Each structure stands twice: as C-alpha cells, then as structure tokens.
Chains A and B, each alone.
Chain A
C-alpha cells in the first residue's frame, strides 16, 4: 500500500513538473509586410498558438492562415484564394524548432536574451529549413518573445504571374511575431 501511494505521488509530481515546464500562448501576434512601388501591404493576425519548453528549448508556432486581417477586403480575398495562399487547403502554417544556445538563456532571472533557433517552417504545404533569432525577455516571471525575418514566397510554392497580386505584392515579405507566454 505504501508503495502504491509513493508511485501515485511520483506520477502526480511528474505531471505537475511537466505542466510547469511548458510555456504557452494562444494569442500571439504575427504581422506580414510587403512593399512594392505600387503599394505597401500589411496584415495582422492575433491568433498564433505557441509552446516553448525551457528545459529542452523546443519551440513551436501554429498560425491559422485565415486569421490575417488586411486593411482592404479585396486584398484579403486575393491572399486567401487558390492562386495565392490557398488557405482552405493549407489552413495553418507551422514552425517547429529548437533553441541551440539554451545554456545562454536563464528563464528564471530577469533579462533580455537572444535565442538562436533552427527548425522547419511549413507554409502552403511546403516545408523549408530556417534559422532565425528570437529575442526573449524574462521579466518578473513573465516571458515574451519577439522575432523578425524575411521569407521568399516562391520558396513556399507561392508564385503568381498574372493579375493584381503580381504587381502589388512583393516577392519577399517581412514577418514579425510577438508572443506573451504563460505557464
């Protein structure tokens, strides 16, 4: 009986420990910005789901693609269409990666840290390796992350030669993400 209680206590401790180790958010902000001589286009999405596991440095983002809001309705329709991001067939973009300099980041003490992250980004059904930096700010028990990088749409099979998107949307877009993690 004593052994049974001990086992139960250990299992409970393990579950508690795992849940405490995971940092998560379901309301991260991601923005993409494209510029061409015709116009600048910016779209915002406040629905990123992300997990960060400090013990292993594993980090994952999932972006619901239809949650990008454009200033103009027509832009939003172009973006979602089969000729562009085809968000019905590919409703989510996903990044899975690992922090490679984990020893340089202290998740328990206030500070600003630069995490080097390598992983894979799947967008429009195409997966590519990427290597970027993530600024992590630890402040009074809260952890926030910020990153900014560029992607080339053609690398993800997004090519458009005819119609407005070809002249109004840049071939490269800047991605900015801001995440406020909670335990």
Chain B
C-alpha cells in the first residue's frame, strides 16, 4: 500500500515537471499554419478601422493572449522597405488611399519579397497587430500592422 502511494506521488510530481517544462518551452504560434480568419482587401481593412475603431479592434484583435486574427490581405504594392531587424516590409496601399497595410516578413519568408515589385497586386498572409489611424493634428499616418507575413501562393 505504502509503495503504491509513493509511486502515485512520484507520477504526479513527474507529470507536474512535464507540464512545467512544456509551458516553459512552448513554441510561439506558427501563423502560417493557422487557417485565415478572412480574406480582405487592404482598402476594406483600413476602412474597417477608420469607420469604427472599437468594432474593428473587437473583430480582429485577441483579448486573452494577444493571438490576434490571421488574415489574407490583398492589395497593390506601394512600398518595399526593411526594418531595423532586416525584415522586409511591404506596404499594400491603393493609390487613392491615405493609409494601407504594412506587412512585415520573417527570416524564413524574406526571400519571397525579391519576386515582387511596386505596382503588383498580391496577397499576403499574416497576423494583424494593430489598426489604421490618422491623427490630423500631428499628421501621423498609422497603417494597419501585419507581421509574420508570407506571400500567398498564386
């Protein structure tokens, strides 16, 4: 009886250690493996935030763990740049729009950007981080931020 109790306690301790190890080393979400919440044009996505910021935040941002919606965004390539981390950043914005969707690529997907050029219409899959906003007083243009991006295969 005593040995059974010791074995049971040992098993519980091992399970506890196992769970703690799993939590400690739990990998980040693989955005590209997640099914996209919706396919939307850059213009419509910007419009959703400009017309009703609260509603758009509620629709696209996650409240529990910051794991916001994965989207497929389609639009015209207006700018290609690099951030301080060396990640390519592609701005999808139609010529008549003031704001667009800024999509940052990753170490794994950076090379995909070499195949695109200004004016191309493309689709990018990534996770949304924040919405578009324009502060007229400060002339501050804030695009929709999308990260962990990859080109959607045609």
A contact set with B: CB distance below 8 Å: 18, 22, 24, 26-29, 44, 46-47, 49, 51, 58, 60, 62, 64-67, 72-74, 76-77, 79-82, 86-89, 91-92, 96, 178, 180
Contact = CB atoms under 8 A, between A and B. Distances in A.
B52 to A, nearest CB: 14
Interface of B: 23-29, 57-58, 61-68, 81-85, 87, 89, 102, 104, 129-131, 133, 135, 138-143, 145, 147
Contacts of A80: 62, 64-67
A178 to B, nearest CB: 7
Contacts of A82: 63-64
21 contacts: A26-B143, A27-B89, A29-B83, A46-B84, A47-B102, A47-B104, A49-B142, A64-B129, A66-B129, A67-B130, A73-B29, A74-B26, A76-B65, A82-B64, A86-B63, A88-B61, A88-B66, A91-B61, A91-B130, A91-B131, A92-B142
A47 B142 CA distance: 10
A49 B140 CA distance: 8
A22 B139 CA distance: 9
Nearest to B27: A73
Contact of B147 (A60, A67, A76): A67
B84 A29 contact: yes
Nearest to A67: B129
A162 B146 CA distance: 32
Contacts of A29: 83-85
Given A46-B83, A67-B145, A73-B26, A58 B138 contact: yes
Given A67-B130, A74-B26, A88 B143 contact: no
Contacts of A76: 28, 65-66
Contact of B26 (A28, A44, A72, A87): A72
A74 B63 CA distance: 15
A47 B57 CA distance: 18
Contact of A77 (B25, B66, B138): B66
